[in-house]
C-alpha cells in the first residue's frame, strides 16, 4: 500500500498487492489490483489469467473466455493457457473448440489421467466415439474400478449400438 501511495502507476506494486490479497483471501482487493495491472499493462499475463479465474468464479463465463482468448492470442504455444482455455470452452459447451486446443496437447505427450478423461469427454460430445473409446479403454486398463470411466465407456458403446459391451 505504501509503494502505491508513492507511485500509483507501479505495475509491480499492484501485482504484489494482488498476489498478497489473493493469498489472504481478500478477493475484492485482489480483483481490484489485477484490474489496475491490466489497465496499466494490458499484456500482463498474470493479470489476464487471474482476472479470467475471478470472472469464472463469479459466474461470468463469457468474460473469462474473452480474457483467456486474449492471453491465448498473445501466447498460443503456452500449454497451460491452452489447457485452461480448452477447459473453459468445455464449460461453455464448445467441445469442438476444446479439441482444437487439446488435441495438440495430446499429440505432444500430455498424459495426465484427468486431462485424458476430459479429452475423451470432448470427443464424445463431438460424436467422435471411436477416439473417446480408445482413450477410455486405456484409462480403464490403468483404473479398472473407476466408475466414471466405466460409465463413460458404457455410454460410448451405447451410442454406437453396442449394447452387450455397454452392459
Query: How distant, in Å, are the alpha carbons of 36, 132, 148 from that of 106?
Result: 36, 13, 21
> How far is 125 from 129, CA to CA, in rounded Å?
8
The 10s digit of each residue's pLDDT in 48-94 is 999 999 998 999 999 999 999 999 998 899 998 999 999 999 988 99
* Contact (Cβ atoms closer than 8 angstroms) between residue 154 and residue 162: no
Please give the helix or strand (H or E) that residue 143 lies within, else none.
none
Per-residue pLDDT tens, the chain, 167 aa: give them. Answer: 999 999 999 999 999 999 999 999 999 999 999 999 999 999 898 999 999 999 989 999 999 999 999 999 988 999 989 999 999 999 889 999 999 999 999 999 999 999 999 999 999 999 999 999 999 999 999 999 999 999 999 999 999 999 999 98
Instruction: Return the residue matching grid coordinates 476444446.
Output: 98
How many angstroms separate the first and last alpha carbons of the chain?
62
pLDDT score for 99 = 97
By CB atoms closer than 10 A (0-12, 13-18, 19+), residue 158 is: middle
pLDDT score for 40 = 96
Model pTM score: 0.80
Question: CB neighbours of 65 closer than 8 A, spacing ≥ 6?
Answer: 52, 85, 88, 89, 92
pLDDT score for 91 = 87
> How far is 18 from 5, CA to CA, in rounded Å?
15
Amino acid at each position: 500500500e505504501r509503494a502505491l501511495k508513492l507511485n500509483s502507476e507501479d505495475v509491480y506494486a499492484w501485482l504484489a498487492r494482488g498476489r498478497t490479497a489473493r493469498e489472504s483471501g481478500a478477493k475484492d482487493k485482489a480483483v481490484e489490483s489485477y484490474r489496475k495491472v491490466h489497465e496499466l499493462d494490458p499484456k500482463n499475463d498474470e493479470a489476464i489469467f487471474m482476472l479470467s479465474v475471478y470472472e469464472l468464479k463469479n459466474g461470468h463465463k463469457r468474460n473469462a473466455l474473452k480474457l483467456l482468448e486474449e492471453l491465448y492470442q498473445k501466447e498460443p504455444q503456452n500449454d497451460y493457457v491452452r489447457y485452461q482455455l480448452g477447459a473453459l470452452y468445455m464449460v461453455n459447451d464448445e467441445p469442438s473448440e476444446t479439441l482444437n486446443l487439446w488435441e495438440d496437447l495430446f499429440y505432444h505427450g500430455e498424459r495426465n489421467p484427468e486431462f485424458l478423461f476430459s479429452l475423451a469427454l470432448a470427443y464424445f460430445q463431438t460424436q467422435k466415439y471411436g477416439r473417446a473409446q480408445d482413450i477410455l479403454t486405456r484409462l480403464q486398463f490403468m483404473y479398472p474400478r473407476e466408475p466414471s470411466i466405466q460409465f463413460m465407456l458404457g455410454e460410448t458403446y451405447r451410442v454406437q449400438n453396442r449394447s452387450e459391451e455397454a452392459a
